[in-house]
Amino acid sequence: MGLLRRGSSGGGAVLVVVVCVGCIAATAMAAAAGGGGGGGECPKYKDSKQPLNKRIDDLLRRMTLAEKIGQMSQIERENATFDVMRNYFIGSVLSGGGSVPAAQASPAAWVSMVNEMQRGAMATRLGIPMIYGIDAVHGHGNVYKATIFPHNVGLGCTRDPDLAKRIGAAVAAEVRATGIPYVFAPCVAVCRDPRWGRCYESFSEDPRVVQRMSSIISGFQGEIPPGGRRGVPFVSGGRPSVAACSKHYVGDGGTTRGMNENNTVATLRELMTVHMPPYYSAVAQGVSTVMVSFSSWNGVKMHANHFLITDFLKSKLRFRGFVISDWQGLDRITTPAHADYMLSIKLGIMAGIDMVMIPFTYTEFIDDLAALVKNGTIPMSRIDDAVRRILRVKFTMGLFERPYADLSLAGELGKQEHRDLAREAVRKSLVLLKNGKPGDAPLLPLPKRARSILVAGAHADDLGSQCGGWTITWQGLAGNNLTAGGTTILDGIRRAVDAATEVVFAEAPDAGFMRRNAGRFDAAVVVVGEPPYAETLGDNLNLTIPAPGPSVIQNVCGGGVRCVVVVVSGRPLVIEPYMDAIDALVAAWLPGTEGQGVSDVLFGDYEFTGKLARTWFRSVEQLPMNVGDEHYDPLFPFGFGLETRKAN
């Protein structure tokens, strides 16, 4: 018995036949071409009752070179029309940062877009489903109304792997709500220099903390069953799960001066003891994919590093998922980028990259790779290894049985349960660095029944700055119109205090304002920090608090009122010059949409418990400086964090 479903698109009507007993997703087009097995034959690869390896072997032997290269190709959403998917046998599609079907697109719009691309893939001779991938590094960040969780720099301060796992599960549900089964997360970089613009994507400078927090992979994919084979990709079918991607392999957090895509100078022992351990944990959890870093190791581009990709990751660690390039990663093997694309393809594929994030020049990639195979430069065995790995992940995910998305999970996007979890994560990620000047009583927790509280600083009422980069757009945007839902820190303060307490917000009060009003306030909360940013544009060699933050601190904290400074940033910043004036200091990192988690702790509903997962330096001249270094003289050491008790 079967179900007939007719779909239309730019490629014309397509008759899809879904057979209910074992054999699935056969297309009329496949049968007409002979690839689907005529005369009622059910090919093994379509039979869900067949062992995994038999399904892979059966499909692989049926595939042409063009179909294999198509599987290795990942193109950008804007190019992925029905005809392109069908005619080039495209195996994967992605959304780059900010690449969406429409502004403020609904789950229905996302599902419709993904399914239209899938129809193109399923209309091919063999009907191999495509896999759609998206960055979800702190929630489903591209999507309007999604829950935005704290970036990893904050989560590392919780030291709570169970929290990370629960966040992974919540993010997986929100991603699946939009019809997407694959996320380019988590980043398991070990950031050794906060000048790096991606440092907020790293859980810690300590590989042991990163390893613990890599439990988010089991949240994304589900718990690998007891006795599961090490290195084999695993995605649970028991709840909304997504395939995960550990990135960026390997050493991306150790580049010189923290510059993005730069060179990591390290001995093999240093690479293996500092940067590699998180990948041991990822592989042990059955991570489906690994993304290669733009960076180099001792001058060799990672995208061309056969030793680390093939000899170590695939052979030594026995990783059986697929290795994916970063965005135009093959192009950047040469300087300037794309100078010798044929050479770049040769080096990247022979190094062991299985799927290539092209994302635009897909016809050039397909033609050049085909030429390299036909002239014997790249052996068919390398192509078959790549495609075998890609198919293994797709079969494991159940894409052949369930290629199309539906709207049954639409209610997961931004739901209150997830926002409550994000708020919990904010509370646990906050680190209290100072609480009272010498000889004074602690300032925190603040009283809810104060007469009047001053809130100052632009970051107090800025949802976009709270969320940081990789939120709706690639670099992120300041302001409160970025996404819907969530609370700013100012909103949280107003909700936390007694109804009779006056809350005065002054974005940038000057000295005159403070002279006139100092006696009016029982306390002040100053919220300052960095603007949103992401990779490369976020690289910063001075790490000072951007203006007008310093003047706001000086005017308010030097203006006769006890003040707590809350720093909203993706990394430690230069704060020592202001320490004498500050009564209390809180590192809030990039808390995401649920700013009320900050006020929860400021006013004593919950305790401060977070511990620094990064060294807080005194000056940038000390960098790089990490725990365990011979010359270690931080302002606040790794692991530091004061604690408070709940208010009565």
pLDDT tens for residues 303-352? Answer: 999 999 999 999 999 999 999 999 999 999 999 999 999 999 999 999 99
Is the residue at 95 inside a domain?
yes
Amino acid at 2: G
Over the stretch 452-470, which tens digit does the pLDDT of each residue have? 999 999 999 999 999 999 9
Tell me how far apart the alpha carbons of residues 100 and 534 are, in angstroms, rounded to a whole number: 18
What mean pLDDT do residues 467-489 have? 96
Domain co-membership, 350 together with 279: yes
**Structural domain harbouring 562:** 430-636
Q: 639 and 612 in contact (C-beta within 8 Å)?
A: yes
Q: Is the pLDDT of residue 20 over 60?
A: no
Whether 646 maps to a domain, the answer reads no
Which pTM was predicted?
0.94
pLDDT of residue 647: 82
Query: Given a cut of 70, is residue 28 above it in pLDDT?
Result: no
Check if the beta carbon of residue 186 is closer than 8 Å to that of residue 622: no
Q: Could you say which of 343, 374, 397 is where a domain stops?
A: 397
**Do 355 and 459 reside in the same domain of the chain?**
no
Residues 443 and 361 in one domain: no
Does 12 score more than 50 pLDDT? Answer: no
Q: Quick one: 456 and 561 in the same domain? A: yes
Q: Which residue among 47, 326, 412, 530 is the active-site one?
A: 326
Report pLDDT digits (tens) over 173-223: 999 999 999 999 999 999 999 999 999 999 999 999 999 999 999 999 999
What angle in degrees, to the nearest 10, is found between the helix axes of 341-351 and 380-397?
A: 60
What is the rounded average pLDDT for all residues in the chain? 94
Q: How many domains are there within the chain?
A: 2
In terms of domains, do 373 and 468 share one? no
* Together in a domain, 484 and 381: no
Three-class secondary structure of residue 141 per DSSP: coil
Establish if 479 belongs to a structural domain. Answer: yes
| CB atoms closer than 10 angstroms to residue 627 | 16
389 lies in the same domain as 445: no
- What is the arithmetic mean of pLDDT over 86-105? 97
Tell me the pLDDT band of 23, cut-offs 50, 70 and 90.
Answer: low
Q: How far apart are CA 69 and CA 407, in angstroms?
A: 32
403-406 long-range CB contacts below 8 Å, 24 or more apart?
403/25, 403/118, 403/121, 403/122, 403/129, 404/115, 404/118, 405/111, 405/114, 405/115, 405/118, 405/176, 405/178, 405/179, 405/180, 405/181, 406/111, 406/179
Dihedral (Cα; 571, 576, 578, 580), 10-degree rounding = 140
| Cβ contact 601:494 at 8 Å | no
Q: What percent of the chain has pLDDT over 90?
A: 92
In a domain, 4, yes or no: no
C-alpha distances in Å from residue 522, one per residue of 191, 288, 501, 591: 40, 54, 10, 26
Establish if 596 belongs to a structural domain. yes
pLDDT in tens, 119-144: 999 999 999 999 999 999 999 999 99
In contact, 133 and 93? CB cutoff 8 Å: yes
pLDDT at 37 over 70: no
Which listed residue (354, 535, 583, 594) is catalytic?
A: 535
Among 337, 372, 397, the domain-final residue is 397
In a shared domain, residues 165 and 106: yes
**236, two tokens:** 């649970």
> What secondary structure does DSSP assign to 436-499, as a single string?
S-TTSPP-PSPPTT-SEEEEESGGGG-HHHHH-SSBSBSS---SS-SSSS-B-HHHHHHHHS-T
| 525 plus 589 within the same structural domain | yes
- 171 within domain boundaries: yes
Cis peptide before 129 (omega within 30 of 0): no
Q: Which of 161, 212, 211, 216 is nearest to 183 (CA)?
A: 216
326 catalytic? Reply is: yes
Q: Are residues 466 and 376 in the same domain?
A: no
According to DSSP, the residues that pair with 589 across neighbouring strands are 568
Burial category of 416 from C-beta neighbours within 10 Å (exposed 0-12, middle 13-18, buried 19 and up): exposed
Cα Rg, the chain, nearest whole Å = 26
Instruction: Identify any residues that bridge with 183 across adjacent strands, giving them in sequence order.
Output: 134
Domain membership of residue 21 (yes or no) is no
For residues 322 and 451, membership in a common domain is answered with no
Backbone angles phi, psi at 449, to 5 degrees: -100, 45
- pLDDT, residue 6, reads 32
Specify which residues 131 forms β-bridges with: 92
pLDDT in tens, 385-401: 999 999 999 999 999 99
* 3-state helix/strand/coil string of 217-262: HHHHHCCCCCCCCCCCCCCCCCCCCCECEEEEECCHHHCHHHCCCC
CATH label of the domain that carries residue 611: 3.40.50.1700
| Cβ 612 vs Cβ 648: under 8 Å | no
Chain position carrying tokens 């892979």: 56
Q: What is the pLDDT of residues 54-72, one digit of tens each?
A: 999 999 999 999 999 999 9
Check residue 230 and give its pLDDT. 85
User: Is residue 14's pLDDT more than 80?
Assistant: no
pLDDT-based confidence at 39, cuts 50/70/90?
Answer: very low
Give the whole-angstrom CA distance, residue 90 versus residue 88. 5
Residue 57 maps to which CATH number? 3.20.20.300
In 112-191, at which residue ranges do the beta strands (DSSP E only) sit?
131-134, 182-183
pLDDT computed for residue 38 by the predictor:
40
- Please write the tens of the pLDDT for every residue from 578-624: 999 999 999 999 999 999 999 999 999 999 999 999 999 999 999 99
Q: Is residue 46 part of a domain?
A: no
Active site (annotated) includes residue 67: no
349 and 462 in one domain?
no
